[in-house]
Chain A
Amino acid sequence: SQTIHQWPATLVQPVGSPLSLECTVEGTSNPNLYWYRQAAGRGLQLLFYSVGIGQISSEVPQNLSASRPQDRQFILSSKKLLLSDSGFYLCAGGRDFGYTFGSGTRLTVV
């Protein structure tokens, strides 16, 4: 079965600092990969998705970027964090047989 590993679980970063969140997939090959953000009490907002190595599509113009350097690795980055980047970030993966989510990273920008 497929497992999504996501770290760290919590992160407190100052405004203007860089960000790197990593997500790795176990148990499947060539999955679609997704980064979502969830504000408190709100629904999922799709940020980026990838259907293959080096293929990134952005759904929301913003201060963030994503990269997929390997088939099972998906990275969310920022060069300079804004207060509005605070939220709960979730990585997901899968394709024809359903999707699996990581446990999430709670990011607080101070």
Chain B
Amino acid sequence: KQEVTQIPAALSVPEGENLVLNCSFTDSAIYNLQWFRQDPGKGLTSLLLIQSSQREQTSGRLNASLDKSSGRSTLYIAASQPGDSATYLCAVRPWDSNYQLIWGAGTKLIIKP
């Protein structure tokens, strides 16, 4: 059974730092992995989608990597800003399912000005 873990559960860093959020999964047979952010009281915003055949995706200051063999994905945020403060979630779609999404519990990120 696929399980997704995000560590740390919370992270507080000063503005300007580069940081890495981690997402681990137990079964390497995935179709894709998606990173989201959620601001308090808001819906989820998709950040990056990595298909199974890809190693990384980039959007602006964000870079997500995928290593299926080790069951890991990382979300790298460069030059963090207070506006990056949010909860970051990763979700895995298993290879053998066309509807399942397995969610991590999220990392709550606070960027201090």
Alpha-carbon distance A44/B90, docked complex (angstroms): 12
**Counting chain B CB atoms within 10 Å of each CB, which of A88, A95, A97, A98 scores highest?**
A98
Contact A44 B103 (CB under 8 A): yes
In the complex, residue of chain A having the shortest beta-carbon distance to the beta carbon of B91: A99
Q: Which residues of the other chain, A, contact B89 by a CB distance below 8 angstroms?
A: 44
Given contacts A32-B98, A98-B34, whether A104 and B106 have CB atoms under 8 Å apart is: no
Q: Which residues of the other chain, B, contact A72 by a CB distance below 8 angstroms?
A: none
In the complex, residue of chain A having the shortest beta-carbon distance to the beta carbon of B106: A43
Q: Which residues of the other chain, A, contact B113 by a CB distance below 8 angstroms?
A: none
| Interface residue? B42 (CB, 8 A) | yes
Q: Contact check: which of B32, B34, B36, B99 meets A49 at CB < 8 Å?
A: B99
| Interface residue? B45 (CB, 8 A) | yes
Residues of A within 8 A of B (CB): 6, 32, 34, 43-44, 46, 49, 51, 57, 88, 90, 92, 95-104, 106
List 13 other contacts, CB 8 Å, given A88-B41, A101-B46, A103-B43.
A32-B98, A32-B99, A43-B103, A46-B101, A90-B43, A97-B49, A98-B34, A98-B46, A100-B46, A101-B36, A101-B43, A104-B42, A104-B43
